[in-house]
Amino acid sequence: MMIDVAVIVAMLIPFAFKSKLAYVYWIVLSSLYIAYKAWRWKV
């Protein structure tokens, strides 16, 4: 749960930087989160 909340909060970090690189940041962060869920999530 801590990691889930941390990722959701981290999705908001681009508000602190006026940049087009937010695009790459969001894609990388979302990819890492999905990979983490695929690896660690036990149904």
Partner 1 sequence: MILWAVAIYMVVGTLIALYAKRGIKTQEDYFLANRRLGGIVSALTYASTTYSAFMMVGLVGLAYATGVGSAGFELMYLVGTVFLLSYYAPKFWSMGRERGYVSPVEVFEDRYGKFVSTLSSIFALIALIPYTSIQIMGSAYLLGIDYTLAVLIVAFVIAFWAFLGGMKSVAITDAVQGVFMLLMAIVAVIWTAKNVAFGIPDSAVFPNEFWTPLRFASLTLPWFFFALTNPQVSQRMFVPKDDKALKRMVILFAIFGLIYTTLVTILGLSLRLGTDLGRFPLVSYRDRVTPTLLSMMPEYLAIAVALSIIMASVTTANSIVLTLSSMLLRDVLKERERIVLGKVFVVVLTVVLIFFALQRPGYIVELAVLSSTILLCQLPLILGVFHFKFGGRVTGLLTLTAGFVTAVVLSLLRVPWTSIAVFFVSFAVFFGVGLIERSKTT
CA distances to 17, 19, 20 from 39, in Å: 31, 31, 30
- 9 forms part of the interface with partner 1 (CB under 8 A): no
Q: Report which residue type is found at 38.
A: A
Q: Which two structure tokens, joined as six digits, stand for 5? A: 């909340």
Shortest separation between residue 21's beta carbon and partner 1, angstroms = 8
> Does residue number 31 form part of the binding site for partner 1 (CB under 8 A)?
yes
Would you tell me which residues interact with partner 1 (CB under 8 A)?
4, 7-8, 11, 14-15, 18-20, 22-23, 26-27, 29-31, 33-34, 37-38, 41, 43
